[in-house]
Amino acid sequence: MQPKITAKLLCTDREVGEVSRVIVDPLSKTISHLVVKSDGQESLIAVDGLIASCTEREVRLQCASSALVKTGPFRRNDFVTIDEVEIPHLERHLDVDPGEVLVPLPELEKDLSRRQFFSRFTNVIGAMLALPLIYPVIRYLIYPMYKPFTNAWINLGNLSADRQPPGVPQIYKFAKTVTEGVITRHYEKSHWVLKPTPEQLNQIYPNGNLNFKDDKGDLIWVNQKAADVVVFSGKCPHLGCAYRWRHHKRFGMVFVCPCHLSVYSATGKVLDGPAPRPLDKLPVKVLPGGELEIIDMEFEAGVKEQIRIA
Amino acid sequence: MLEAVYRWVDERIDLKGLQAKMLNEPMAGGARYAYVFGSALLFIFIMQAVTGILLMFYYAPTADHAYASTRYIIEKVDFGWFILSYHLWGSSAMVAVMVMHMSQVYLWGAYKKPREMVWLAGLGLFLIVIGFGFTGYLLPWDQRSYWATVIGIEIVGKAPIIGDFLGRFLRGGSVPGAQTLTRFFVIHIMILPAALLAMVGLHLFFFRSAGPAGPFKGTTQELKSKMEYFFPTQVWKDIVVMGLVFVIVCTLAIRFPHQMLEEASPVASGLNPEPEWYFLFLFQLLRDPALSFLFAGQWGEFLGAIALPTIFLLLLVLLPFIDRSPERHILKRPIALTSWLVVLTSIVILTIRAIMFRE
């Protein structure tokens, strides 16, 4: 089924023939040529920018027939149909005039309020399906995210085995067993232990004793200023890397973080680099036999204040 | 026989018409090697999907087995080292070609009206690819992956208001561990691929709808006279470049197969943690002594790690709405050209400095 739309091509002076095909430019999406039939011959005529008016019966050009550029006889094989080319939104540029090609609205959908009811109620049912899921899904996903702090004391090692002279920090590695979900893992962690000199103690605890709290804000431990030993958390307070004790060409023996090159003194003071606060002290106690115990707290990195997160 | 099957399908779904529409996309000014980047990216993505699926045959996504199973792939499984190395080099190729693609679109002025939506979907793809790189890096669970992720999540945590939640969400708690690996795994192999497929679909749909931008110079008449369809010349150029990309990635995978470090551990060691090369400039920004007056301390860290990248991304999003002049010739857009040069030079300088100033 193909309705035949035919029109005569008219110039200002005379009729040229009958339009048999329309050639569209795929880039500009305008009519570039018309194929015109006269005396049984089909020829290609360039009409880009020449069309003055267009009706069902006739296409009028704004030039004389002598000014027309005939590109010679029409060869069908030089062209493909618009179905075979991707020309997006061509229908916006080409109208079948007068009138349009239409598709009827189904009889049942002519009742607008009914149609509206369905479209709205579809959304309502969709929302009813989605809303009850939001809360369980969020709870499901955040399940491991906010666990209470663990305040257990962990053995870090024996101080009597530490041959380091006072004032020089020493790394203490210790085994940790953690259950996350159903996976229980044993791995090593490390903190730094310093047997401070009196001057160092003044730098480490400038405000006297240091209090530690649990997640409810209750006091659980106090590090006495007059202590034999200080433990620095092995986590760099800048962005959480593991820093180390080494020689620095400007500062001598210092803690250096290999990630963003923060430099700390033996007392944890920031000497250089981007760190926002001194090294974090951990709660520590020394048992009678010299056994060192700590609470393995974690503090938020990258902020000025010390905020406990685990 | 095959032809009969084709005819049978064609009769029912107009396969021939579909094929013709796919291939006969008019391109003003004709096919060019300048237009190959999008297709190259699609090819790289398909290869990442193929190698990624292959890796999952042996990889165990739990903290107690991730490291051992990755080692097993490299050391035991036939050609496992190649599949894994291809996947890793492929990810680098993805980022490299993506930067070329974005640069080309930027320099060609191809983000301008009516192609704004294509640009926006492209930026969505950019974020997804970055997400792929970040989440995939952790999966081998060696020292390199562990520390890069520790730092990466700390940086995410510095975002205002949602930062703490986001950091905990990614870690699955307040410290990185077994939950972190599982979360990164599901993001890397389910969420991001689904998002990428959807976004690639949109990107191509918008692109086909608006049409290719074509060259930035030449009269309409010239462009019209050189018009070609996507098939066959552009398809040929695309496939040549895909072949080239394949050969380069294979060569890199064979010459420089992936070397694993020790298993992830929070103990202080001699390791200098570093992110993947395409994040090095950001990494250096936060630690460069020459910039420490800007990026040291809590506020500086927020400025460098959160504010600056967000502003940059926002500028990219707003680009087609800020730059509304129809001029596309890059030499007639001095501000655009200068900003591109400044951004790229800064990235190159910071990357070089990151490599020079290792601890």
Q: What is the pLDDT of residues B197-231, one digit of tens each?
A: 999 999 999 999 999 999 998 888 899 889 999 99
Substitution target from B67, B150, B170, B292 for chain A, most A beta carbons within 10 A = B150
Closest residue, chain B, to A89 (C-alpha)? B209
The two three-digit tokens of residue A200, written as one number: 């160092």
Of A28, A87, A259, the CB nearest to B151: A259
Angle at alpha carbon of residue A274, lines to A270 and A279, rounded to 5°? 35
Q: Please answer yes or no on whether B64 and A301 come within 8 Å at the CB atom.
A: no
Instruction: Sort out which chain A residues have CB atoms less than 8 A from B154's CB and list them.
Output: 239-240, 301-302
Region B233-248: mean pLDDT is: 97
Residue-range domain boundaries for chain A: 7-93, 153-295
Instruction: Sort out which chain A residues have CB atoms less than 8 A from B218's CB and list them.
Output: none
Least confident of A215-219, A230-234, B59-63, B145-149: A215-219
Residue B270 reports pLDDT greater than 90: no
Interchain contact A271–B (C-beta under 8 A)? no
**What pLDDT sits at residue A284?**
96
Instruction: Sort out which chain A residues have CB atoms less than 8 A from B177's CB and list them.
Output: 178, 180, 185
User: A182 with A162: CB under 8 angstroms?
Assistant: no
> Rounded to a whole number, what is the distance in Å from the CA of B172 to chain A's nearest CA?
5
- Tell me the C-alpha distance between A172 and A234, whole Å: 9
Of B168, B179, B357, the CB nearest to A181: B179
Region B78-94: mean pLDDT is: 98
Contacts within 8 Å (CB) and 24+ apart, A225-230: A225/A201, A226/A201, A227/A196, A227/A201, A227/A284, A228/A159, A228/A195, A228/A286, A229/A159, A229/A193, A229/A194, A229/A195, A229/A196, A229/A284, A229/A286, A229/A292, A230/A193, A230/A194, A230/A196, A230/A200, A230/A201, A230/A204, A230/A281, A230/A284
Region B28-32: mean pLDDT is: 93
Q: Please answer yes or no on whether B174 and A240 come within 8 Å at the CB atom.
A: no
Strands of A183-194's sheet in order across: A170-180, A183-194, A230-232, A281-282
Region B131-153: mean pLDDT is: 96
Could you give the percent of chain A with pLDDT greater than 70? 95
Q: Please count the residues of chain B.
A: 359
Instruction: Sort out which chain A residues have CB atoms less than 8 A from B219's CB and list them.
Output: none
User: A301 with B154: CB under 8 angstroms?
Assistant: yes
Q: Please answer yes or no on whether B267 and A243 come within 8 Å at the CB atom.
A: no
Instruction: Sort out which chain B residues have CB atoms less than 8 A from A234's CB and list them.
Output: 266-268
Q: Please answer yes or no on whether A242 and B178 come within 8 Å at the CB atom.
A: no
Closest residue, chain B, to A275 (C-alpha)? B297
Interchain contact B209–A (C-beta under 8 A)? yes
Counts for chain B of helices (H) and strands (E), in that order: 17, 2
Q: Please answer yes or no on whether B268 and A171 come within 8 Å at the CB atom.
A: yes
Closest residue, chain B, to A180 (C-alpha)? B178
Q: Please answer yes or no on whether A239 and B296 come within 8 Å at the CB atom.
A: no
Residues with Cβ < 8 Å from B305, sequence gap 6 or more? B155, B158, B282, B285, B286
Interchain contact A33–B (C-beta under 8 A)? no
> Rounded to a whole number, what is the distance in Å from the CA of B166 to chain A's nearest CA?
10
Of B154, B182, B359, the CB nearest to A239: B154
Substitution target from B18, B164, B170, B174 for chain A, most A beta carbons within 10 A = B174
The predicted model scores a pTM of 0.91
Mean pLDDT, chain B, rounded, equals 95
Least confident of B6-20, B82-96, B176-190: B6-20
User: Domain B29-272 is in which class?
Assistant: mainly alpha
Q: Please answer yes or no on whether A188 and B266 come within 8 Å at the CB atom.
A: yes
Q: Is the peptide bond before A104 cis (omega within 30 degrees of 0)?
A: no
> Rounded to a whole number, what is the distance in Å from the CA of B169 to chain A's nearest CA?
6
Region A252-260: mean pLDDT is: 95
Q: With bands split at pLDDT 50, 70 and 90, how would you rate the model's confidence at A38?
A: confident
Residue A292 reports pLDDT greater than 50: yes
**What pLDDT sits at residue A249?**
93
Interchain contact B298–A (C-beta under 8 A)? yes
Residue A215 reports pLDDT greater than 90: no
Q: State which fold the A7-93 domain adopts.
A: SH3 type barrels. (2.30.30)
**What pLDDT sits at residue A67?**
87
User: A10 with A65: CB under 8 angstroms?
Assistant: no
Region B158-176: mean pLDDT is: 94
Region B134-163: mean pLDDT is: 95
* Beta-carbon pairs below 8 A across chains A and B: 167
Instruction: Sort out which chain B residues have CB atoms less than 8 A from A171's CB and list them.
Output: 268
Q: With bands split at pLDDT 50, 70 and 90, how would you rate the model's confidence at B7?
A: very high
- List the 149-188 stretch of A: residues with Cβ below 8 A of B: 171, 173, 178, 180-181, 183, 185, 187-188
Residue B272 reports pLDDT greater than 60: yes
Buried b (16+ CB within 10 A) or exposed e, A200-229: bbeebbeeeebebebeeeeeebebeeebeb
**What pLDDT sits at residue B30?**
92
Q: Which residue has the higher pLDDT, A191 or A113?
A: A191
Q: Please answer yes or no on whether A273 and B287 come within 8 Å at the CB atom.
A: yes
Residue-range domain boundaries for chain B: 29-272
User: A193 with A231: CB under 8 angstroms?
Assistant: yes
Q: With bands split at pLDDT 50, 70 and 90, how would you rate the model's confidence at A184?
A: very high
For residue range A49-101, list pLDDT tens digits in order.
Answer: 888 888 778 889 999 988 888 778 888 888 888 888 888 888 777 765 545 56
**What pLDDT sits at residue A100?**
55
Interchain contact B178–A (C-beta under 8 A)? yes
Interchain contact A269–B (C-beta under 8 A)? no
The residue among B132, B136, B154 whose CA lies nearest residue B145 is B136
Beta bridge partners of A176: A187
Substitution target from A23, A24, A25, A27 for chain B, most B beta carbons within 10 A = A27
Residue B321 reports pLDDT greater than 90: yes
- Tell me the C-alpha distance between B206 and B121, whole Å: 8
Q: With bands split at pLDDT 50, 70 and 90, how would you rate the model's confidence at A3?
A: low
Least confident of A141-150, B180-189, B239-248: A141-150
Closest residue, chain B, to A259 (C-alpha)? B273
Task: State the CATH architecture for A153-295.
Answer: 3-layer Sandwich (2.102)
- List the 227-246 stretch of B: residues with Cβ below 8 A of A: 227, 229
- List the 66-125 stretch of A: residues with Cβ below 8 A of B: 80, 83-89
